[in-house]
């Protein structure tokens, strides 16, 4: 159980300690520093003790190419940039960051978008340059990631849609009000003397609806017609035009007030459906490529000095320096230092690879440990990773072949409506020409596919919302359709079925368990190393750690440290001088678990005496065993991994032997997906993975699912971003989308029934404005009610708590 935050009292899930007090985040710590008389208020604008390293880290932002890409000029003349703040975790962080203008006169506005973890800053560049702003936030504990100006302007599109919706809603309400008495009729609602004026008022109110709010539907319909096709926007646009023309004719001739309310209502309901559908998945980016994984700049070493340089300018022969945790941006050869390269995100290898001077390092790996120097062998654009990403297979988009279910029937619907309207016109021309025009236009009006067009946005929009609450973020509504039709599920192993970095760690003593002091010495030695296994030891033994007097690390072997007067060795059995008898005794006392998961050992010696060993396994994620067992009943399951096949037995219970592949390169994974699609034409394949080594397979598959432990960290381009904690509900989510698909088909039937009722009146020339005013809203409301109600019912049946 975590300690409560000293400032806000909430559990400290990401604790920050200072002065013996625990805070849930940096925001609470900073707010208390501002408010408490006990704490000295820091000078936010003062340079830190590590100012040199800060200036180096952000120096690349001084260059014009970065400044122009990241900063735009606001309407008030101030510079505006949008910063991604991954460490913003709670309301205290928001409150703290929004106080920036009060503490630095060069910052004029600081606006937080908490769901997107974005900070939008308007500032005066003459008083605070972009690199100084980044360094300031870094000193305050909120190191930023930059978003370019185009991404910063993305909310404008949302505001434009809301504006169109507001215009349509305003016009719809007022036109209905003005038309209400005319629809009711009778002596009590006699509009003699006002009908003409009200008709022209309605005409004026309909103009912004037709030419502003509904503009997108006309543009879409025109593009479809130019391409020689028909989508659902074609009959919608046709219906709007006919409603408008018929209504204008009635107002001009003084025969009525027209159907302007139906026009405004149609646009209003359609825009609501579009907003509802798109509002759920807008906060995450599904289109990410390898450049989002790489850093913006790197330290280039020349004449003994290291200066930040854009990675795009690196050339063969350049010497670059990579620190702990940084990404290697280009293929190179190690010149100096001990390389510990984590390539799990690139190749799927679950353990870091030791690299010695003179050995090659490919782009994309992350250095763990001290700083290393490399000689660049090829520019970034020519690295193996870049060549793979830019290959034709990675650029291929197969998803366009899967159609929106509404678009699949739009061609037939449009042709059917035109045929019925034409037949109606021809029938009445030969019988009673005075009814022919009214019957023809009435048929086109009543058959306008409002209810049909609302079926998918509200059903799939609601589906997106429920899935989003459970940790599944879909790129668009069409992904729901693909999920409902998936038959083959292809899983990556490392980082998907097993956690990317978490280890299950146990200590196996030779004799008795180490005492408190010895555990502290071992933890102190491990804390000096950046190796993932060392970090796991520190998490297991979190005792008070004494000071490390000397430390050395040998890649591939282990660490040696002098701690509190004792020598500590942690590493391989050879490094710790473990004898065969000691290892045999440990193997006997602690037999390997029968799980099939690979166990890695680190032996520990203190002053030449073997204490025991740490056993590390990467367990499958919580609930995955039961989930795979359930999925196997309705899907074909496959496992493909870039790791070795040492853990094959651990997954044999859920995957058939011929459906497990190991040591697979990215190209091999893509080929496996293609072979599956060729073997089962007409059935969809989903790829569930997490790393860049899965990126090609994610794009090649009919449904690409990127599993992430952090929603805001880098993940490859995908159709769906899935929180790793929600993977255990994947089967229930697939079943939910199948229910959503059935709901759409049910709503199609309801909307066709309404159209048949309307056509009954229209083809006889009996459609009046009051009939249209009743049928169109009732059909729309019923479709929305059924869509939302049945989706809620289907979600409740999944048993997922959101």
Checking if the pLDDT of 154 tops 60, the result is no
Tell how strand 609-617 and strand 599-606 pair up. Answer: antiparallel
pLDDT in tens, 328-387: 888 899 998 888 887 765 665 656 788 889 999 888 788 876 778 999 988 877 776 665
Confidence category of residue 216, pLDDT binned at 50, 70, 90: confident
Backbone phi and psi for residue 584, each to the nearest 5 degrees, phi listed first: -65, -40
Task: Note the pLDDT of residue 639.
Answer: 94
**Using 50, 70 and 90 to split pLDDT, how confident is the model at 93?**
confident
Query: Which pLDDT band, with edges at 50, 70 and 90, does 53 fall under?
Result: very low
Residue 49: what pLDDT? 40
Q: What are phi and psi of 390, to 5 degrees?
A: -85, 5
Question: At 687, which helix (H) or strand (E)?
Answer: strand 684-689
Task: Output the six-digit token pair for 572.
Answer: 């391989």
Q: Which two tokens stand for residue 325?
A: 């945790």
Helix (H) or strand (E) holding 360: strand 360-361
For residue 504, the cross-strand partners are 617
DSSP 8-state assignment for residue 47: P
Instruction: Record the tokens describing residue 363, joined without a space.
Output: 């782009």
Higher pLDDT, 528 or 664: 664
pLDDT over 90 at 73, yes or no:
no
Q: What is the pTM of this model?
A: 0.67
Within 10 A of 92 (CB to CB), how many other CB atoms are there?
Answer: 23
Residue 429 pLDDT class (50, 70, 90 cuts): confident
Residue 544, pLDDT above cutoff 80: no
Residues in contact with 358: Cβ distance below 8 Å, sequence separation at least 6, in sequence order: 333, 334
- Residues 665-674 have a mean pLDDT of 88
**What is the rounded average pLDDT of the residues 32-41?**
50
The answer to which of 201-210, 291-300, 514-523 has the lowest mean pLDDT is 291-300
User: Average pLDDT, stretch 92-121?
Assistant: 81
Secondary structure class of 544 (helix, strand, coil): coil
pLDDT at 82: 84
pLDDT band at 604 (very low <50, low <70, confident <90, very high): very high
pLDDT at 715 over 60: no
Question: Which region, left, alpha or beta, applies to residue 770 given φ > 0 means left and ψ of -120 to 50 means alpha?
Answer: alpha
Quick check: 43 pLDDT over 50? no
What torsion do the CA atoms of 601, 606, 611, 612 make, to the nearest 10 degrees? 0
State the pLDDT at residue 536: 86
Stretch among 192-196, 598-602, 661-665 having the lowest mean pLDDT: 192-196
Q: Quick check: helix, strand or coil at residue 799?
A: coil
pLDDT at 167: 94
Lowest mean pLDDT among 195-209, 395-409, 495-509, 682-696: 395-409
Which secondary structure element, helix H or strand E, spans residue 770, and what is its range? Answer: helix 769-798
Phi and psi, residue 689, nearest 5°: -150, -175
Residues 243, 249, 255, 256: is their CA dihedral positive or negative?
positive
With a CB cutoff of 8 Å and minimum separation 6, the contacts of 19 are: none
Q: How confident is the model at residue 74 (pLDDT cuts 50, 70, 90)?
A: confident
Record the tokens describing residue 717, joined without a space: 């381009």
User: How high does pLDDT run on average in the chain?
Assistant: 79
Q: How far apart are CA 327 and CA 250, in angstroms?
A: 69
pLDDT of 135 > 70? The answer is yes
User: CA-CA distance, 677 to 589, in Å (whole number)?
Assistant: 49
pLDDT at 289 over 80: no
Tokens matching residue 181? 């008495």
Looking at residues 734-761, what average pLDDT do you find? 88
According to DSSP, the residues that pair with 685 across neighbouring strands are 488
pLDDT at residue number 483 = 93
pLDDT tens string 753-799: 888 888 888 788 776 655 665 666 777 788 888 999 999 999 999 98
Residue written as token pair 């359609």? 270
Question: Cβ atoms within 10 A of the Cβ of 712, count?
Answer: 17
């Amino acid at each position: 159980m975590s300690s409560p935050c000293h400032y806000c009292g909430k559990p400290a899930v990401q604790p920050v300690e200072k002065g013996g007090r625990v805070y849930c985040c940096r925001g609470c710590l900073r707010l208390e520093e501002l408010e408490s008389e006990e704490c000295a208020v820091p000078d936010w604008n003062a340079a830190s003790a590590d100012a040199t390293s800060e200036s180096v880290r952000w120096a690349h932002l001084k260059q014009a190419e970065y400044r122009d890409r990241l900063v735009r000029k606001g309407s008030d003349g101030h510079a505006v940039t949008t910063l991604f703040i991954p460490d913003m975790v709670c309301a205290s962080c928001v409150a703290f960051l929004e106080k920036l203008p009060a503490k630095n006169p060069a910052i004029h506005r600081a606006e937080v978008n908490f769901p997107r973890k974005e900070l939008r800053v308007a500032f005066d560049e003459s008083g605070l340059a972009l690199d100084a702003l980044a360094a300031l936030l870094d000193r305050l504990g909120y190191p930023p990631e930059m978003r370019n100006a185009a991404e910063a302007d993305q909310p404008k599109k949302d505001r434009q849609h809301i504006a169109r919706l507001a215009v349509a809603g305003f016009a719809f309400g007022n036109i209905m009000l003005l038309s209400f008495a005319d629809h009711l009729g009778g002596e009590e609602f006699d509009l003699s003397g006002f009908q003409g004026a009200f008709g022209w008022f309605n005409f004026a109110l309909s103009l912004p609806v037709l030419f502003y709010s509904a503009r997108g539907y006309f543009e879409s319909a025109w593009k479809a017609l130019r391409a020689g096709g028909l989508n659902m926007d074609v009959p919608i646009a046709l219906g709007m035009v006919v409603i408008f023309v018929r209504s204008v004719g009635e107002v001009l001739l003084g025969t009525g007030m027209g159907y302007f309310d139906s026009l405004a209502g149609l646009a209003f309901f359609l825009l609501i459906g579009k907003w509802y559908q798109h509002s759920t998945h807008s906060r995450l980016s599904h289109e990410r490529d390898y450049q989002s994984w790489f850093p913006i700049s790197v330290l280039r070493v020349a004449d003994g000095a290291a200066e930040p340089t854009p990675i795009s300018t690196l050339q063969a022969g350049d010497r670059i320096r990579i620190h702990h945790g940084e990404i290697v941006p280009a293929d190179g050869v190690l010149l100096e230092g001990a390389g510990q390269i984590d390539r799990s995100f690139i190749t799927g290898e679950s353990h870091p690879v030791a690299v010695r001077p003179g050995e090659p390092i490919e782009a994309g790996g992350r250095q763990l440990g001290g700083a290393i120097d490399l000689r660049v062998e090829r520019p970034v654009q020519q690295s193996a990773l870049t060549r793979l990403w830019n290959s034709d297979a990675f650029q291929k988009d197969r998803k366009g072949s899967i159609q929106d279910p509404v678009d699949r029937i739009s061609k037939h619907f449009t042709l059917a409506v035109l045929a019925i309207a034409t037949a109606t016109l021809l029938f009445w021309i030969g019988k009673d020409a005075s009814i022919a025009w009214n019957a023809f236009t009435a048929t086109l009006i009543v058959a306008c596919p409002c209810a049909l067009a609302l079926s998918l946005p509200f059903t799939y929009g609601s589906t997106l919302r429920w899935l989003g609450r459970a940790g599944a973020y879909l790129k668009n509504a069409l992904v729901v359709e693909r999920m409902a039709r998936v038959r083959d599920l292809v899983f990556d192993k490392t980082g998907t079925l097993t956690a990317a970095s978490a280890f299950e760690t146990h200590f196996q003593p030779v004799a008795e368990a180490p005492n408190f002091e010895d555990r502290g010495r071992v933890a102190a030695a491990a804390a000096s190393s950046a190796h993932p296994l060392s970090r796991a030891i520190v998490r297991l033994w979190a005792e008070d750690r004494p000071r490390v007097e000397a430390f050395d690390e040998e890649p591939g072997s282990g660490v040696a440290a002098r701690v509190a007067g004792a020598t500590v060795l942690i590493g391989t059995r050879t490094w710790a001088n473990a004898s065969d008898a000691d290892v045999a005794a440990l193997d006997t006392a602690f037999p390997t678990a029968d799980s099939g998961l690979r166990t890695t050992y680190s032996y520990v010696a203190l002053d030449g005496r073997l204490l025991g060993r740490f056993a590390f396994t990467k367990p499958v994620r919580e609930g995955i065993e039961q989930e795979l067992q359930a999925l196997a009943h309705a899907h074909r399951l496959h496992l493909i991994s870039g790791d070795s096949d040492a853990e094959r037995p651990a997954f044999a219970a859920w995957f058939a032997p011929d459906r497990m592949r190991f040591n697979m390169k990215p190209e091999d994974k893509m080929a496996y997906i293609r072979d599956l699609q060729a073997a089962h034409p007409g059935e969809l394949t989903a790829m569930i993975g997490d790393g860049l080594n899965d990126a090609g397979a994610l794009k090649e598959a009919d449904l690409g699912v990127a599993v992430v432990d952090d929603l805001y960290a880098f993940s490859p381009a995908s159709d769906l971003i899935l929180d790793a904690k929600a993977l255990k509900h994947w089967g229930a989510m697939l079943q939910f989308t199948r229910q959503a698909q059935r709901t759409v088909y049910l709503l199609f039937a309801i909307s066709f029934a309404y159209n048949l009722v309307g056509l009954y009146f229209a083809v006889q020339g009996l459609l009046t404005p009051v009939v249209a005013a009743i049928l169109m809203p009732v059909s729309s409301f019923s479709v929305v009610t059924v869509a939302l109600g049945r989706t809620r019912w289907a979600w409740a049946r999944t048993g997922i708590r959101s």
